[in-house]
Chain A
Amino acid sequence: MFGQIRFLSTTLILLLAACSDSNTPRVSEASAMPAETTGQAQTSAAQVSGPVVVYSSRQEYLIKPLFDRFTEETGITVQLQTGEEGPLIARLQAEGKDTFADMLYTVDAGNLWAAADKGLLVPLQSDVLQANIPAHLRDPENRWFGLSVRARTIAYSTERVRPTELSTYAALADPKWMGRLCLRTSRKVYNMSLVATMIDRLGVEAAQAVVQGWVNNLATRVFSSDLLVIEAIAAGQCDVGIVNTYYLGQAQQKRPDIPVALFWANQEGSGVHVNISGAGITTHAKNPTGARLLLEWLSTAEPQHMFSELNLEYPANPDIESVDLVQSWGNFRQDNINVESTGRLQSEAVKLMDRADYR
């Protein structure tokens, strides 16, 4: 009887699958080249057949223009599957060698670290990427590469705070900020990464004391987005907060005279905490050559500048300039700790924030 059920259900599945427009990307014979052979050999667009399939947790409007430009230049099309990073990585893992994905593109080094840790990304030796992307913004084992830089720093009210009162992230734990601090939820990976870096720099105990101090200083419950933190500072609900810089850019585009400014944290010490959006080639890529071309292309001048235009981020390639609005915030020194540590220490950071009751 069980056999009959299985037969029936398989038949049902097959029938329905045949009826539905399954829209599965191609698996061409030419692209069956193993991923490991993407060595030093120079490749050109002419050798690539078929599209590059990218799994991305970045929002479509932030990266599709880049891929469109790539297609214009090389004739190679890009298929974009967007989604939340957790499910995307899990899907990649479940699909294993049958995956369609050639490239994984996410925000936050922690996610890329997790994917690499699960063996989903393959090392890539590329002179282009070595030259264009600074060492601390890529995986030490070359499985993923940062493409844009996102700086997380202190935002303050220009009406109620003098910049001389500010110094480091840790100093925001000082009781003088009691009832004046706004934070985004600890469930956002940006805060996990910031705390992970603090664990690396200060050790678990000192980092927990800082987080505890932040929680004590909170003016109100944590927010679900950095934009809300900025709006709260502008409206007077609190005086300082910690945000990614491009969110202030978005707020300034909407309201140029918003009374909130950025302070570059930790300039006397380790530098501003930075994270990346970045990408790697999947272990079971069917089109590794195309994926490699795309990845290398993304590190070159024009797309690098586009990152700054599209989301007011910083190009990972230090030779490329940002747009004017981003430049108006001034220069700062980055924390040059390898962003890989944010992934390695992320679960430690999550637990620490739970212990400190940072929600």
Chain B
Amino acid sequence: MASAAGKHSSQVSNLPFNILGLALVALVALPVLVLFSQWATLGNGEQEIWQHLFDTKLDRLTGNTLVLVLGVGVGVTVLGVSLAFLLSMCEFPGRRWLDWALMLPLAIPGYVMAFVYLGLLSFAGPVQGWIRAQFGSSNWFPDIRSGPGVIIVLSLVLYPYVYMLARSSFLMQGRNLLDAGRSLGLDARSAFFRIVLPVARPAIAGGLALALMETLADFGAVSVLSYDTFTTAIYNARDGLFNQAVAAQLATLLLGFAIIVLVLEQSSRKQARYTQGEQQRPMKPIQLTGPGAWLACLWCLLVLLVAFIIPVAQLVLWVFESGAGEFDSRYPEYLWHTLALAGIAAALAGFLALLLSVFRRMKGPGGTFRSLCVRFATMGYAIPGSVLAMGIIVAFTYVDRTLIQLLGSGPLLVGSVFSLILAYITRFMAAAYAPVDAAIDRMKPSMIEAARSLGTPPARLLRQLYLPALWPGFLTAAIIVFVDVMKEMPATLIIRPYDWDTLAVRVYQFTAEGQWERAALPALTLLLVGLIPVIVLVRKSARPG
């Protein structure tokens, strides 16, 4: 491509980087491509199943999925933005510790939140039991196993994505914009809605896109709460109708939803490009007093209570009820596996996201093509882990066969730690890409242009310019992936080497049979360990002063 054109010396030096970028995209996108290739299998059996799905439930499942995406979208935006505003731009009693505490729900897996609240709020649970004991009937109590129930549960675990990104955007804007608005005669509220919020829009949209792709891929929470979505149809085609091809085909359609989400996110970014000014004035927060301060504090406490304190308290209670009998000598091993996998995947995903982001921005022809490539490489986030895992196994078996023919040695990839790491990278590339890409967005183009015009080679650009400026974005990416990998269950389950049980796998052993009390100990351990990276993330981005 570039070498054939041979027009410009800087483009020639881009060639290895182009190749590396493409290879990377191919590697990450391979499992998704395998799923698409299943459209080649559209025999009578498949057509009959499609007809059946059209006739019976495809419309309901599509509707349910849309309702879920819309509901969670509203839920995480309201929670994330309101909390981010209060905690980054205002001052009220308790703000300092609420600021980091409200990030903690990120460590709770969606399926754990779902089974905790199902246990608490179902008809047979303690809350409705108490209501019946007091008032005779609890029939008016809303069923958590419903659309609104799932929306609330998923919003509670996913709002931290929006909170995190909106918060850092607010913090970075500092007081400058708010003051500018006020100097133009706007009151604080209008200044916020008309200036601060629009400027933070790309960050909010980025967090929202992550939350919604997670929602699309969710199987755990929706199945615990008996809510049928597109994802459950994929499972049903595979495990009920024994048709892998239709399952894969349905999974590719799920990507249609994801593409809509991404297009919306992209369009919110396109309208504006904001770069960071020099040194921000340290922020002087809006001092809340009286009822305002109370309300702000109460709202934050309420979210913290529902999204973190109650679930953790319930897990602790269950651990006590089921006794420490579940604890065995292999816990250190589960812990080590969880940390090792999460650590390696986080570091690699962060680094590869950086490469992808730079790859997309490279000069020269094919920019649109590169953008598309990168988009495709981040699609794995919207595919349920268990389905994506099938793509990985098929792809890796193929690579293994080729390697066996070439080298004559046994299978290398399938059932290895490496394939598991690649599964994580494919699955979570979007989560790593968003913060890294946003960080690059904030860099001043003038700086890059200047370096470019001096003919600085890409490798040096990366080392001397990008890396120092991008370290915070990289760290955020790595930590999100770390926590996501810790919580990941279905892909881990099927791809892991036989003796590589993780805490999430341990949770599954019990939840699969509805034994939630016994799942509480591994779930609680998982959560406590997950808190460590979350706290690191919070510390790193704390408001100065």
Contact = CB atoms under 8 A, between A and B. Distances in A.
Nearest to A97: B401
Interface stretch (A5-13, A263-271, A300-308, A322-330): A5-13
B17 to A, nearest CB: 11
Nearest to A87: B494
A39 interface: no
A236 to B, nearest CB: 8
Contacts of A88: 494
A148 interface: no
A144 B455 CA distance: 68
B404 A98 contact: yes
A221 B226 contact: yes
Contacts of A53: 498
B357 interface: no
Interface stretch (B101-109, B205-213, B469-477, B508-516): B508-516
Contacts of B505: 82
Contact of A23 (B52, B56, B404, B417): B417
A17 B412 contact: yes
Interface string A197-238: 000000000000000000000001111111110011011010
Interface stretch (A129-137, A185-193, A272-280): A185-193
B120 to A, nearest CB: 13
Interface in A11-51: 12-14, 16-17, 19-25, 27
Given A12-B27, A90-B393, A187-B236, A228 B400 contact: no
A350 B415 contact: no
B509 A60 contact: yes
Contacts of A20: 416-418, 421
B303 interface: no
A355 interface: yes
B240 A187 contact: yes
Given A228-B514, A232-B124, A359 B226 contact: yes
A100 interface: yes
Contact of A8 (B20, B128, B389): B20
Interface string B401-429: 10110000011111111100100000000
B509 A61 contact: yes
Contacts of B414: 91, 94-95, 98
Contacts of A192: 240
B225 A224 contact: yes
Interface in B162-203: none
A21 B418 CA distance: 8
Contacts of B235: 86, 187
A351 interface: yes
A9 B403 CA distance: 13
A14 B418 CA distance: 10
B397 interface: yes
A57 B130 CA distance: 38
Contacts of B515: 227, 250
Contact of A237 (B123, B410, B421): B123
A75 interface: no
A341 to B, nearest CB: 15
A259 interface: no
B451 interface: no
Contacts of A359: 226, 228
B278 interface: no
Residue with the highest number of chain A CB atoms closer than 10 Å, among B494, B501, B505: B494
A321 interface: no
A17 B416 contact: yes
Contacts of B421: 16, 20
Interface in B122-159: 122-124, 128-129, 143, 145-146
B448 interface: no
Contact of B499 (A23, A98, A250, A355): A23
Nearest to B505: A82
A223 B143 CA distance: 12
A335 interface: no
A222 B226 contact: yes
Size class of the A contact interface (CB-based, 8 Å) = 35 or more
B226 A223 contact: yes
Interface string A246-264: 0100100000000000000
A5 B412 contact: no
B418 A226 contact: no
Nearest to A185: B226
B509 A9 contact: no
The prevalent SS among residues of B at the interface is helix
Given A23-B497, A23-B500, A354 B52 contact: yes
A14 B20 CA distance: 15
B386 interface: yes
A19 B122 CA distance: 48
A195 to B, nearest CB: 11
A334 interface: no
Contacts of A221: 143, 145-146, 226
B239 interface: yes
Contacts of B411: 24, 95, 98, 100
B23 interface: yes
Contacts of A21: 416-417
Interface in B507-529: 509-510, 512-515
Given A23-B416, A91-B393, A185-B226, A84 B494 contact: yes
Contacts of A1: 1, 19
B57 to A, nearest CB: 6
A67 to B, nearest CB: 12
Contacts of B543: none
Given A185-B226, A221-B143, A250-B515, A24 B494 contact: no
A49 B433 CA distance: 48
B268 interface: no
B87 interface: no
A227 B514 contact: yes
A9 B26 contact: yes
Given A17-B412, A79-B498, A187 B124 contact: no
B242 interface: yes
A45 to B, nearest CB: 21
A94 B494 CA distance: 13
Interface string A70-101: 00000000011111111110110011101010
Q: Which 7 A-B pairs have the closest CB atoms?
A: A225-B514, A235-B124, A22-B416, A20-B418, A87-B494, A231-B124, A23-B497
23 contacts: A1-B19, A22-B417, A24-B410, A24-B411, A24-B415, A82-B509, A84-B239, A84-B493, A86-B386, A95-B414, A98-B411, A192-B240, A220-B145, A221-B226, A223-B145, A224-B514, A225-B513, A227-B514, A228-B122, A232-B123, A235-B124, A235-B129, A357-B56
Given A4-B19, A235-B124, A354-B56, 18 more contacts: A5-B26, A9-B27, A23-B498, A59-B510, A61-B509, A80-B498, A82-B493, A83-B494, A87-B389, A96-B397, A98-B404, A187-B232, A187-B240, A224-B226, A227-B515, A231-B124, A346-B241, A351-B56
